[in-house]
Amino acid sequence: MEIQSFKINGTEAGGTYEAAAGELLKLQWDCPNCDFCLIYPYNWKVGGKGELEVYIYETMTLILRAVKDRDSVQKEIVANVSGGEELNGVLVSPSGIVSPGTTSEFTFDLTKTGFGYMDHGIGRIEGSKYCKVLRNQYGVYRYHILTGSQEIQEKEKSVKAGTRDVLELQRLKYVMMQNGNESQYELSWRVVNNDGNDVIIEASDHQGAFDKSATGHASFTRTGEEIVRLSIRCNAGDKGQIDFADIYPFEVK
């Protein structure tokens, strides 16, 4: 009995595969004449030949153990989550004001894994682009990637569909500056064409609305490790609505 092959994304047993957090690993193995195989650390019982796919989020040693009667042999591969991924850019086309029903295409350039995550409930994005049909609305989308155990967030990319008087978030700047254990938060915003409707600004550690004006600037300080999330929402009827939650500040240390 012999394990003829055990690979992770083409890397043979005995080596180390350098992975990005969240990367999809393809496991392949071939062990003729064994009764069954076990894959650790998952404790999967599989046949003597096959392949499986699994996402990885931490460094681990994957072991293939082949069993026949009371004998067994094994091989292993280290999957090392090393990070090092870079997001070189995010583009959206067309941008600016477009007709409702237009398909807008987000493209991005990743140097390693070709996937990431986008907000507003879109989630994991495979490959190097994502398409979305725009309706009579204004949208700001945030794209980020995983590097090791940390998230690196890219600046927002915005698109808008409809007429020129559609509800629009023209400006949103949210910055956190750290000084020891104290954090200073600065935010400013401008919403146009809201027809006098409240633009509700909320922060996660404040009771009720932080502000309800269409244009403004605010600042506050706090201590502690948890980052204060910001949300903004406004309903202007036929002109559309803004409802962006869990906006995190750009950090300046």
Per-residue model confidence as pLDDT tens for the chain (253 residues): 899 999 999 898 988 998 876 677 899 999 999 999 999 998 899 999 999 998 887 788 999 999 999 899 999 999 987 655 555 666 777 766 666 677 777 777 666 655 666 665 566 676 677 777 765 555 656 655 554 445 555 545 555 555 667 787 778 888 888 777 888 888 888 888 899 999 999 888 777 788 899 999 988 888 877 788 888 889 888 777 888 777 877 655 4
- The CATH number of 5-81 is 2.60.40.10
Asked if the domains at 83-162 and 166-253 fall in one CATH topology, the answer is yes
Measured in whole angstroms, how far is the alpha carbon of residue 27 from the centre of its chain?
24
Superfamily of domain 83-162: Immunoglobulins (2.60.40.10)
Measure the CA–CA gap between 242 and 136, rounded to whole angstroms.
11
CATH topology of domain 166-253: Immunoglobulin-like (2.60.40)
pTM, to two decimals: 0.44
What is the full DSSP assignment across 176-207? EEEETTEEEEEEEEEEES-TT---EEEETTSS
Measure the CA–CA gap between 117 and 153, rounded to whole angstroms.
10
Contacts (Cβ under 8 Å, ≥6 apart) of 14? 75, 76, 77
Q: How is the chain split into domains, by residue range?
A: 5-81, 83-162, 166-253
- The count of C-alpha atoms lying within 13 angstroms of the C-alpha of 243, restricted to the half-sphere facing its C-beta, is 7
